[in-house]
Amino acid sequence: MEKERCDVSVQCDTCDGSGKCKNEDQQKRRLEHRLFQIRHKIIVMSGKGGVGKSTVATNLAAAMALREYRVGILDADLHGPNIARMLGLEGRSLTASGDSVDPIEVSNNLKAVSMALLGYDPDQAIIWRGPLKHAAIRQFVSDVNWGDLDFLFIDLPPGTGDEALSVANILRQVDGAVIVTTPQDVALLDARKAVSFSKLLNVPVLGIVENMSGMVCPHCGGKIELFKVGGGEKAAAELGVPFLGRIPMDPRIVELCDSGKPFVAEGIDSEAKTAFVALTQKLVDALTPAGEAPGVVH
């Protein structure tokens, strides 16, 4: 069914440099308009760093775009943004269009916004307190001309701090959280905190992804359990949330991400790519309204 059109088109004044908008009412109305244009808002989070969360977020977004969905990815990790590097956008900058900011067009169906696209020195630390981070994330939604999107993936920094709270508060109705973990016990302890955080904020947990779940030897094809296998599935069962699948390690994922090419967009036949494709289908199925044909999200 075609969604009713929103008639809000108020343009927001520029901010005064402190993170506070000169006209809060205009920015609020503009935020409502942007959110109305985005069908599904999904946060990708983890309880700790080093689990491959940004890699998962990037490849999920790219895989959805390959399926002809209109996709945006918002890098909400203000202190350590990696999405621009993984999408091959380093050196590019966001540009203004009237009173709005245009996201970077990665492909026909994929747009991206990141702090790394604002011209900051990548070696310079960003030292911001909570209120300024909240204002920046709000502007990334309200002041960016995302257009009509089927999915907006928000890549959060590790943990359950300011950025995660700001995103949940600004978006208000988040369609779900994808929680990324690795199989070892330390990572799983923190994944449980991410599940608890989502439930406390009434964000549906779409499921847990067990990343770096073993590795297929490129020489003999045997499976190597570097960080154990099955911990993510066990945690999902204990916490009563869906298990979305395991993504094995593949050295080509690292190579392609470092060179700015999403792994799923390359013509590679691998267990990891198959896992990403299956993961996107599970998300589509979970977000398909009752009564619609399977896989229909538009």
* Per-residue model confidence as pLDDT tens digits over 111-161: 999 999 998 777 888 888 989 999 999 999 999 999 999 999 999 999 888
Residues 243-263 have pLDDT tens digits of 999 999 988 998 999 999 999
> What is the set of domains in the chain, with CATH numbers?
24-284 (3.40.50.300)
Can you give the three-state secondary structure of the chain, one letter per residue?
CCCCCCCCCCCCCCECCCCCECCHHHHHHHHHHHHHCEEEEEEEECCCCCCCHHHHHHHHHHHHHHCCCCEEEEECCCCCCCHHHHCCCCCCCCEEECCEEECEEEECCEEEEEHHHCCCCCCCCCCCCHHHHHHHHHHHHHCECCCCEEEEEEECCCCCCHHHHHHHHHHCCCCEEEEEECCCHHHHHHHHHHHHHHHHCCCCEEEEEEEEEEEECCCCCCEECCCCCCHHHHHHHHHCCCEEEEEEECHHHHHHHHCCCCHHHCCCCCHHHHHHHHHHHHHHHHHCCCCCCCCCCC
User: What's the pLDDT tens digit per position in 161-217?
Assistant: 899 999 999 998 899 999 999 888 777 788 888 999 999 999 999 999 999 998 877
Q: Rounded mean pLDDT of 266-276?
A: 90
